[in-house]
């Protein structure tokens, strides 16, 4: 629904492609029609399609496949224009970076360019509004926050998590914050300790970390990571994925 609404808002209701995609319906109604009508959620259907050649795939009909065919050519055209414009900017960034380093030397950080790099930091809390925010959260806090909001969005928990609460060690660390210097694109990055042990995955930053796009500060800006202990605890006791846990813990 959101993507169709955004699509219609960006291009306008009078756009020919928008009209074809929505098929005379509202974004919500069209989304419901597509999701309820597709058979692609059936594994057997997907396996059958996977084994077909290009001609057979073109002849296959499904609401989602028909939608994909409808937007494929325009999307590829838009992507080609986007890539061409991005390349111009990337070349300009390179020139700007060379000029900066010619003036400032190595005294400043390089721009984030998706190249492999390491960011180091310390796991520690921070002070906000006169209160000390701890470095770690735990499973107990997860359930407490959900209960405080009567399990309503965005603090609602999946039924499986509610049903499995008694199985969990609620003192297990869930998330932690550190003063590692991050930027958009770092989400999903592994976190390792000084012994080169995997201890978490960065997935966000607090609101104060927005300034890191411009300048580094460790007063309040924090990277937020899910703790590896939380991953293992959830896989074991919520998702019944003990074989996966065994594989992860035995890896060298």
Indicate whether 17 pLDDT > 80. Answer: yes
Residue ranges of the domains in the chain?
2-80, 126-250
pLDDT at 168: 98
DSSP secondary structure code for residue 193 in this structure: -
Task: Count CA atoms closer than 13 A to 217's CA, side-chain side.
Answer: 14
CA-based end-to-end distance of the chain: 44
Selected residue with higher pLDDT from 80 and 114: 80
Locate 20 and state its tokens: 């074809």
- Of all residues in the chain, the percent with pLDDT exceeding 90 is 81
pLDDT at 252: 61
- As a whole number, mean pLDDT of residues 211-219 equals 89
C-alpha triplet 43, 44, 46: angle, nearest 5°: 65
pLDDT at 111: 65
Selected residue with higher pLDDT from 113 and 247: 247
CA distance linking residue 180 with residue 224, whole number of Å? 9
Residue 61 in contact with residue 52, Cβ under 8 Å?
Answer: no
pLDDT digits (tens, 9 = 90+) for 70-99: 999 999 999 999 999 999 988 888 888 888
- CA distances (Å), origin 154, targets 145, 149, 151, 204: 10, 9, 8, 16
**Which is it for the CA torsion 116, 121, 123, 124, positive or negative?**
negative
Question: Ramachandran region of residue 158, left (φ > 0), alpha (ψ -120 to 50) or beta?
Answer: beta
- As a whole number, mean pLDDT of residues 217-227 equals 97
CA distance linking residue 144 with residue 24, whole number of Å? 45
**Which is it for the CA torsion 238, 241, 246, 251, positive or negative?**
negative
Indicate whether 108 pLDDT > 80. Answer: no
- Of all residues in the chain, the percent with pLDDT exceeding 70 is 97
- As a whole number, mean pLDDT of residues 136-160 equals 97
> Considering the entire predicted model, what is its pTM?
0.64
- As a whole number, mean pLDDT of residues 20-30 equals 96
CA distance linking residue 80 with residue 85, whole number of Å? 9
- CATH for the stretch 126-250: 2.40.10
Indicate whether 23 pLDDT > 90. Answer: yes
State which H helix or E strand residue 127 sits in.
strand 126-128
pLDDT at 237: 98
pLDDT at 110: 67
- As a whole number, mean pLDDT of residues 204-219 equals 92
Indicate whether 251 pLDDT > 80. Answer: no
Residue 179 in contact with residue 222, Cβ under 8 Å?
Answer: yes
Mean pLDDT of the chain: 93
């Amino acid at each position: 629904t959101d993507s169709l609404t955004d699509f219609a808002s960006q291009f306008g209701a009078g756009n020919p492609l928008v009209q074809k995609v929505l098929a005379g319906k509202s974004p919500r109604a069209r989304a419901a029609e597509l999701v309820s009508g597709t058979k692609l959620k059936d594994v057997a259907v997907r396996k059958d399609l996977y084994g077909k050649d290009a001609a057979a795939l073109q002849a296959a009909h499904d609401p989602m496949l028909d939608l994909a065919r409808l937007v494929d050519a325009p999307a590829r055209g838009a992507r080609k224009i986007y890539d061409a414009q991005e390349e111009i900017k990337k070349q300009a960034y390179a020139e700007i970076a060379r000029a900066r380093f010619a003036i400032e030397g190595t005294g400043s950080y390089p721009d984030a360019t998706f190249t492999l790099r390491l960011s180091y930091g310390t796991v520690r809390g921070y002070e906000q509004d006169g209160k000390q925010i701890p470095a770690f959260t735990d499973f107990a806090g997860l359930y407490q926050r959900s209960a405080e909001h009567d399990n309503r969005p965005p603090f609602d928990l999946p039924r499986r998590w509610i049903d499995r609460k008694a199985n969990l060690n609620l003192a297990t660390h869930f998330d932690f914050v550190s003063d590692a210097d991050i930027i958009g694109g770092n989400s999903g990055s592994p976190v390792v300790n000084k012994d080169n042990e995997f201890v978490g995955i960065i997935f966000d930053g607090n609101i104060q970390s927005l300034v890191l796009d411009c300048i580094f500060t460790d007063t309040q800006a924090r990277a937020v990571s899910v703790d590896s202990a939380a991953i293992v605890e959830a896989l074991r006791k919520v998702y019944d994925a003990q074989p996966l846990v065994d594989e992860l813990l035995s890896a060298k």
